[in-house]
Chain A
């Protein structure tokens, strides 16, 4: 049967991540060949390298929650809220003439704290009260958006000190800071999720919460940890975004919700929980970024690019279904 054959084909690449990397290389090569003058330029590569980190961080923020058996629909508005509150500090303190270093020292931890509070709220509703993650984060997402709008009245917060731009545009030893931050986040996430006791517990809970509870795992504590961690990552993504745009607005990054889920799923994360590798998500992010940038360079209308990205999500989920059916019949 066709389905079994496709399933077997995907299975043959025992290492799914290797397969994904292959796909990435192919796409990269394809884009370079079709339009070397515009794709393979240093400028374009740098531009991609400063864009995909925030995407990648959002994707990991989504992945860690999905792995534990949930979903976090509030990632983009957590980031927005954190950067808006931080942004207010940045602009007001800056206008008051306070030294940039102190301004940053005040604003950035504030962003982290706000995002952690958002994560804690998610944890409270999901772990303590027991609401399903999808519904809970649907509610918190709307709540956070509302708070954002209430603060900004629909406008954007600007007037950041110049020093703040460094996070989005600066570089260390030739590598853009966003990229460095992303690498740090990815590596840290790998160790936290795939190599630590906490991570093991999170995966187990995602697979079977009952057995996990019976085995003596403090499920509440782990879930809180997962949502707090997710929130923290959102703060970092928000930091990068607001630095690049030099302003904070509640609509920034809204497309990353769907893209984050797409990347997680494409990267091998099981939407039901229990499985997922950081490296897979990272490569999936790179694949989606290459597609998006490539299409952009070829002049494809940005709206059509959204359509295609949406289509990819559904396509990937469909392929997963065929793949799992193929496994069953073989």
Chain B
């Protein structure tokens, strides 16, 4: 379809250098050109006049921290969301007025979602090749043709999978390759992959890269989002960096090294109030040798009374998994939990609550609040035993008092107990979740991304609340991807990388670069080996 694949031996330095020189001299025939692309959501500017250019046959990496705007960009490219006015998007030189999902597909932009959009109960061949039949409304299917097309797609990728096996039997890595093969049947010219290697082992990543190189040789462009810098350096031709919705630039491999990259990603003035850090020594909770296959390994740390312990790292490092294991909603394979010097077992959220541990999940809309119920119901739900009268019925007066107390203490607006949770702003929703847990008078508060999706002003308020709570004696374990936030309020900092603890810092003296370094790993060494 795109002519004879060019044979390049990627293990041969000379041959690689030749290709690079040739490409630099090539007419920069861009497949995709975006400029002045912005996207504003109520209260937050997700993208701010960004530009992006992807050449034909190029593997282009999109780098940025959580919240930098990568997913929003992908949604715009795939037509799911519309950019603000003034955006200019050109595909193969032609300007696109409105990008709809259908239009995007027609232009050859195919997104591989994290769940692959595949069917576990049908064969690999069907998953790959039935797309053309669906588009053409084929009255009678020819399995010979479907299987032939599926085999051809897999051949183009240079991999070998049994096409007659039900997809559900394949490993996640192979399923991903099937998803890519299907993208080829859509006549994909630009493949967008979101964190494609997050569930793969080292060997599987190698296979994926081999496939990606084959695609590249046949002229297909790949835009992929990742935070794993070592892998990015191994496979990408160029990198574009986003930070806080802004485009920082596009760089070739030789133009960028670890340090430069890291400072580009995080180097920002800390906008938040930095609170004075305290040294707490009264040990409250100890996590010892927590292990869970596929999630984390050798996790041991200590939390003292009244301190805020920040756990940071890149997305996928395993931080949330550790919190969930401590809280009991998932189980670790081995490890001990010691509270006040006594070993305890927590195997359910109830156990945790009984021990005075509370958990504010990352996804407050789906896991933290019951949106269709009122503020009052949401706050009261954890402490119903305290709200009943002698017969066991809920005492409306007590509920009212409780809710009003927390509305006051946490400054929840609007101060209407009966207001549906879904109608509150992000910041106030978070306060309601906080109220629900504080009502329990917990000793330890586990918080996952406390200011996710909340505007800057409200973030500062939540920071103050957390510091006040800590001063009041509550121990807080806070997972956050926002370095400035961690540096602003955490007394001690733990960095996780790929499921293990890679560093510990004192909150008062740590710098962003130091932390980032531990979060990512010296890339140069990795690539060289």
Q: Let me know if chains A and B touch directly in the complex, using CB atoms closer than 8 Å.
A: yes
Interface residues of A (CB under 8 A from B): 191, 195-197, 200-201, 203-204, 207-208, 210-218, 274-275
Bound complex: CA A274 to CA B352 (Å): 26
The answer to whether A216 touches B382, judged by C-beta atoms less than 8 angstroms apart, is yes
B219 at the interface (CB under 8 A from A): no
Q: Name the residue of chain A whose CB is nearest to the CB of B358.
A: A216
Using A204-B370, A208-B370 as known contacts, say yes or no to A215 and B382 having CB atoms under 8 A apart: yes
Show 15 A/B contacts (Cβ-Cβ < 8 Å), sorted by A. A196-B394, A197-B384, A197-B387, A197-B394, A200-B384, A203-B377, A204-B377, A208-B366, A211-B366, A212-B370, A214-B368, A215-B382, A215-B436, A216-B349, A274-B373
**Known contacts A201-B384, A210-B366, A214-B367; can you find 16 more A-B pairs with CB under 8 A?**
A191-B393, A195-B393, A196-B388, A196-B392, A197-B384, A200-B377, A200-B384, A203-B373, A203-B377, A207-B370, A211-B368, A211-B369, A212-B370, A217-B350, A217-B381, A275-B372
Is the pair B359, A200 in contact by a Cβ cutoff of 8 Å? Answer: no
A4 to B366, CA, bound (A): 28
Majority SS at the chain A contact face: helix
User: Measured between C-beta atoms, what is the minimum distance from A294 to chain B in Å?
Assistant: 36
- In the complex the two chains form, is B353's CB within 8 Å of A216's CB? yes
1/0 contact string of B352-381 vs chain A (CB within 8 Å): 110000010100001111111100010011
Question: Chain B: residues with CB nearer than 8 A to chain A?
Answer: 329, 349-350, 352-353, 359, 361, 366-373, 377, 380-382, 384-385, 387-388, 392-394, 436
How far does the Cβ of B437 sit from chain A's closest Cβ, in whole Å? 9
Q: Chain B residues with Cβ under 8 A from A210's Cβ?
A: 366-367
8 closest A-B pairs (Cβ-Cβ)? A197-B384, A216-B353, A208-B370, A195-B393, A207-B370, A216-B349, A216-B350, A211-B370
Residue in B353, B368, B392 whose beta carbon sits within 8 Å of that of A197 in the complex = B392
Q: Which residues of chain B come closer than 8 Å to A197, judged between CB atoms?
A: 384-385, 387-388, 392, 394
* Contact A216 to B352, CB < 8 A, known contacts A200-B394, A207-B373, A274-B372: yes
User: Complex: how many Å from CA A191 to CA B391?
Assistant: 11
Chain A nearest Cβ from B325, distance in angstroms? 14
- Nearest residue in A to B327 (C-beta to C-beta)? A214
The residues of A that contact B361 with a CB separation of less than 8 Å are: 214
| Contacting pair B380 A200 (CB below 8 A) | yes
Cα(A203)–Cα(B388), bound, Å:
17
CA distance A201 to B377 in the complex (A): 10
Smallest Cβ distance from B387 to chain A, in angstroms? 7
- Shortest Cβ distance from residue B472 to the other chain A in the assembled complex, whole angstroms: 22
In the complex the two chains form, is A204's CB within 8 Å of B373's CB? yes
CA distance A312 to B382 in the complex (A): 40
User: In the docked arrangement, what's the CA distance between A215 and B388, Å?
Assistant: 18
B449 to chain A, nearest CB (A): 15
Complex CA distance for A218 and B328, rounded to whole angstroms: 13
Can you name the residue of chain A whose Cβ is closest to the Cβ of B324?
A214
CA distance A214 to B436 in the complex (A): 12
**With the chains together, A214 CA to B385 CA distance in Å?**
17
Most buried by B among A211, A213, A274: A211
